[in-house]
Amino acid sequence: MDERGVYYGLVEAQNLHVNDKDRKTDENDEDDDISGKARIRFEKNSVQMQYLGSNKLTFSTQKQLIIDDDELNQSTRISVHNKSCHNKSIEEDQISQKAEQINESQETAILLKQEDHSFDHYSGRSPFLTVLRMNSPEWFYIILACLACICNGGVQPAFGVILSKMIAVFEECDPKQQEKHVLTYVFFFISIGLIILFTTFLQNFLFAISGETLTQRLRAKIFQTLLKQDIAYFDRPENNTGALCTRLSTEASDVQGATGIRIGTMLQNIANLGVGIILAFIYSWSLTLVMLAFVPFMIVAGFLQMYLLTGFTNNDKKALENAGKVTVESISNIRTVAQLTKEKYFDDEYCKLLDVCFKNSIKRANIFGLVFGFTDAIMFFAMAALFSFGAWRVEQGAMTFENVMLILNCILFGAMAVGQTSSMAPDYSKAINSSKKILVLFKRVPQIDNCSNAGKILENFDGQIGLNNLDFHYPNRQEVQVLKNFNLTIEPHKQIALVGSSGCGKSTIIQLLERFYDPTHGQILIDENELSTLNLQWWRSQIGFVSQEPILFDATIKENIAYGDTSREVPFDEIQEAAKNANIHDFIISLPQQYETNVGSKGTQLSGGQKQRIAIARALIRNPKVLLLDEATSALDTENERIVQEALDQISKGRTTIVIAHRLSTIQNSDRICVLRRGHIVESGKHDELLTLKGYYYRLAQANK
C-alpha cells in the first residue's frame, strides 16, 4: 500500500468516494453498533420470512420482524424528496392485515396450483385419433395406402382357397386334366404374387410419406408450443430441460410407431380375417362357427395386453424424462462435475433410472410373451377343434376333405393376422400415452404468449416507465410475497439504480419489465400505456438486457452479436460498430479467425469479461430504448470490471437505464438510487444525498469499502 503500485490501484478501484467527514462521524457514533446488530437480526429473520409458507412463521415472529425492521430503519425511512418520516410504532391492525395477506396468498396458491394441475391430464376423447387428424393434408396418400392394404389382405384368403384347390388337383386321375388345373392355379399364384408386390410397395411408400410428415409436423408444433409458453411453465420442476428434450424427441416417434404402416397392417389383417370368414361361411357355416368360437379369446387377450402395458409405458416415460434431466445437467455442467469429482454420482443416478426402464421391460416382456403365446395356442386349439369336427362331418358325408382344408386355410390366415395385430399392443399403448401428453401441451393456453403479435405498438416511444402499487409472487412460490405495494417512476433517458440485499426483489423488477411474468396486483405503465396491452414482440425489441452470467450460443462471434436483432439481416458494419462501442472490437480482430471465431457452448472459449462485452454488443445491435443491467459487472475482476463499466457508461447515454448492482462504486453516478428491502423502496435519492442520511444505503457503502 505504501508503495502505491498495482495493488494500491486495485484497492482504490474498489473504494467508494465517501465523505471523510462522514467517516469520522461514523467512527464516533456509538449507535451504529446497535443498528448493525439490528441489521443482522433482520437479515436472519428475512430469510425465514422468505420461506413463510414452508416454515409456518408465527404472528409473533412476524411482529418481531417488523420491530427489527423499524429498529434498523428508524433513521432511514426518510424520503430525500419530501424529507418526511414514517411512524416508528406498528399498530396491531397492521399485523392483522399482514396475516390476512398471508392467508389470501396461501389460498391463491392453492387455487393456482389446482388450476395449473388441470393441464396435467387429458380429459378429451380419443386422443390418438385427435392427433391423427393432424395428418389430414395427407389423406389422399392415406386412402390410397388403405385401399392397397385392404386389397393385400383380401388376397390372402384367396390364396388359401387356391391352395386347397391345388391340393385337390393331385387326386385327379386324368393326367391332362391334372396338368390343365395345375397350369391354371400356377397362373393364379403368379397373379396373387404380382398383386401383393404392387400393393405392399404402394402401402409402405404412401404410409411412409404420411407417417414421416406427421412426425415432422408434431415435432415442429411441439417445439413451437414450447417456445410460446410463459416462463412460469418452465419454472415447474417437471418441465426441466432434460424432460422437455426427451419428450420432444420421443413422443412424436411414439405416435408414428402406431400410425402409418402399422395402421396399414391392421387394416390388412382385418380385411384378411373378414374375407376369410366370408369364404368360410360360403363353404360351411357350421365349421366356420366352430372356428369363430375361439376368436373372442384372441381379441380379449390383445386388449388385455394393451391395457396392462399402458401402465409400464407411463413409468418408462417418467424414468426416461428424469434420465434426460440427469444427462443434460451433467453434460452441460461437465466442468463443475469434474471439479467436484461427481462423475460416479451422476453415473449411479443415471443407471438407477435406466434400471427402472429395464425392470419394466422385463415385466412387459413377461406379459407380452404370456399373452402372445396364449394367442398362438388358441389358434392351434381352434385347428384341433376344426379337424375333429371336420372329420366327423366328412365321415357323415356332409363335407369333403377339400372343403375342410379350404375353411382351415381361410380361418388360419385370419387367425394369424389377429395374432400379428395383438403383437402391436405395446406400440399402440405408447402412442395413446404420448398422444395424451401432446394434446395436454397443445391445449395449454399460456398467460403470456411469447410468440403473440397482438397488442399496441407505440410509434413515438420516449422510455418513461411507471410501476404503480405492484404486488407480486412467483407462480410456483405463491407463499413468498416478493413485491408489496411497490411504486417507482422512471423518467425517460435517466439511469435508475436498484440496490439492496439478496431477495429484496431487484431482479424480479427486471423480469416484470421484460414481461416474463405479470404482477399479481398493480400495473406497469410504458409511456402511460399498460404493459399488458402492448405488443410483446415489439416491447422486448425495445429492451437491451445484460445479465451477470450472459448466455452465448454455440456459434461465431458475428452470429452471436447479430442475434440481438433477428428482425433483419444485420450488416457487418453495424456488428463492428456495436463491438467497438462495447470495447471488444480490438480483442476480436486479434483472434486468428476474428469475427468468425466460434465461442463454444455457452461461450466457454471466452473469459467472463469477453463474454460480457459481446453480450453488451448484442444488446446494442438492436439500438434499444431501454437498457436493463442486472449485476453486469459483479462476476468480473477489477480490470475487466473497469473496461466493461466504461462500455456500459457509454451505451447508457440517451437511454432509459435500470441498473442492479451490489458494488455501489458502479452506480454512484446514477440519476437516482433506490434502496429496496422486503419488496419495497425504503430510501431514494442520489449517492451523496443517501450517504448524508446515514441510513441503510450508508451502511451498504461502508460494507463496500
638-647: pLDDT as tens digits: 777 777 777 7
Asked if residue 216 has pLDDT above 50, the reply is: yes
**DSSP characters over 188-219:** HHHHHHHHHHHHHHHHHHHHHHHHHHHHHHHH
Asked if residue 123 has pLDDT above 70, the reply is: no
Q: Which residue has the higher pLDDT, 205 or 326?
A: 205
- What helix, strand, coil percent values describe the chain, rounded to 5? 65, 10, 25
Cα 705 from Cα 687, distance rounded (Å): 14
Q: Which residue has the higher pLDDT, 553 or 163?
A: 553
Cα 352 from Cα 18, distance rounded (Å): 58
Burial class (CB in 10 A: 0-12, 13-18, 19+), 392: exposed
Estimate to the nearest angstrom the gap between the alpha carbon of 486 and the chain centroid: 31
When mean pLDDT is compared across 67-76, 137-146, 383-392, 628-637, the lowest value belongs to 67-76
Hey, what's the cell of 653?
447515454
Cβ of 229: how many Cβ atoms within 10 Å? 20
Q: Which residue has the higher pLDDT, 207 or 403?
A: 207
Cα 68 from Cα 98, distance rounded (Å): 16
- The answer to whether 325 touches 247, Cβ cutoff 8 Å, is no
Estimate to the nearest angstrom the gap between the alpha carbon of 371 and the chain centroid: 38
Contacts for 366-370 with beta carbons within 8 Å, 24 or more apart?
367/305, 367/308, 367/309, 368/305, 368/309, 368/423, 368/425, 368/426
Tell me the backbone φ, ψ of residue 584, rounded to 5 degrees. -125, -5
Q: What is the mean pLDDT of residues 387-401?
A: 81
Q: Which residue has the higher pLDDT, 563 or 298?
A: 563
657: amino acid identity, one letter: T
Hey, what's the cell of 21?
467527514
When mean pLDDT is compared across 9-13, 137-141, 383-387, 539-543, the lowest value belongs to 9-13
- The answer to whether 464 touches 526, Cβ cutoff 8 Å, is yes
Cβ of 149: how many Cβ atoms within 10 Å? 28
Domain ranges of the chain: 1-120+462-542+658-705, 124-443
* Pairing state between β 529-530 and 521-526: antiparallel
Cα 705 from Cα 700, distance rounded (Å): 9
Cβ of 578: how many Cβ atoms within 10 Å? 26
634: amino acid identity, one letter: S
> 1-120+462-542+658-705: what CATH class?
alpha beta
So what's the pLDDT on residue 295?
73
- Tell me the angle at which helices 175-227 and 241-256 cross, rounded to the nearest 10 degrees: 150
Cβ of 257: how many Cβ atoms within 10 Å? 20
- The answer to whether 613 touches 629, Cβ cutoff 8 Å, is no
In three-state form (DSSP H/G/I as H, E/B as E, the rest C), the secondary structure along 581-625 is: HCCCHHHHHCCCCHHHCECCHHHCCCCHHHHHHHHHHHHHCCCCC
Contacts for 67-70 with beta carbons within 8 Å, 24 or more apart?
68/38, 68/41, 68/42, 69/42, 69/677, 69/678
pLDDT one-digit tens code per residue, 534-560: 999 899 888 888 887 888 888 899 999
Cα 476 from Cα 53, distance rounded (Å): 12
260: amino acid identity, one letter: G
Which three-class secondary structure state does DSSP give residue 527?
coil
* Whole-number CA gyration radius for the chain: 37
CB contact set of 228 (below 8 Å; sequence gap of 6+): 446, 449, 450, 451, 452
Percent of the chain topping pLDDT 90: 8
Instruction: Give the N- to C-terminal CA distance of the chain in Å, as an integer.
Output: 15
Estimate to the nearest angstrom the gap between the alpha carbon of 279 and the chain centroid: 54
- The answer to whether 467 touches 487, Cβ cutoff 8 Å, is yes
Which three-class secondary structure state does DSSP give residue 91?
coil
So what's the pLDDT on residue 53?
35
Cell numbers 396364449 correspond to: 374
Q: Could you tell me the pLDDT band of residue 316, with boundaries at 50, 70 and 90?
A: low
Estimate to the nearest angstrom the gap between the alpha carbon of 328 and the chain centroid: 13
- The answer to whether 422 touches 371, Cβ cutoff 8 Å, is yes
Cα 530 from Cα 524, distance rounded (Å): 6
Cα 660 from Cα 629, distance rounded (Å): 6
- The answer to whether 413 touches 382, Cβ cutoff 8 Å, is no
Burial class (CB in 10 A: 0-12, 13-18, 19+), 131: buried
- Tell me the angle at which helices 6-14 and 638-651 cross, rounded to the nearest 10 degrees: 50
So what's the pLDDT on residue 306?
62
Asked if residue 524 has pLDDT above 90, the reply is: yes
Cα 56 from Cα 65, distance rounded (Å): 14
Which three-class secondary structure state does DSSP give residue 291?
helix
User: Order of strands across the sheet with 672-677?
Assistant: 543-546, 626-630, 656-660, 495-499, 672-677, 680-685
So what's the pLDDT on residue 109?
44
Q: Could you tell me the pLDDT band of residue 12, with boundaries at 50, 70 and 90?
A: low
Taking the alpha carbons of 520, 525, 528, 531 in that order, is the dihedral positive or negative? negative
So what's the pLDDT on residue 525?
92
Cα 186 from Cα 180, distance rounded (Å): 10
pLDDT one-digit tens code per residue, 581-593: 888 898 999 999 9
**Range 124-443 classified under CATH 2.40.50.100:** no
Hey, what's the cell of 256?
408414428
Length of the chain: 705
Hey, what's the cell of 473?
409472487
Hey, what's the cell of 157?
384368403
Q: Which residue has the higher pLDDT, 348 or 530?
A: 530
Percent of the chain topping pLDDT 70: 76
Q: Which residue has the higher pLDDT, 68 or 189?
A: 189
Helix (H) or strand (E) holding 499: strand 495-499
pLDDT one-digit tens code per residue, 663-697: 777 788 888 999 998 888 888 888 888 888 888 88
Hey, what's the cell of 324?
434426460
Hey, what's the cell of 130?
385427435
Cα 570 from Cα 561, distance rounded (Å): 9
- The answer to whether 303 touches 421, Cβ cutoff 8 Å, is no
Cα 665 from Cα 14, distance rounded (Å): 7
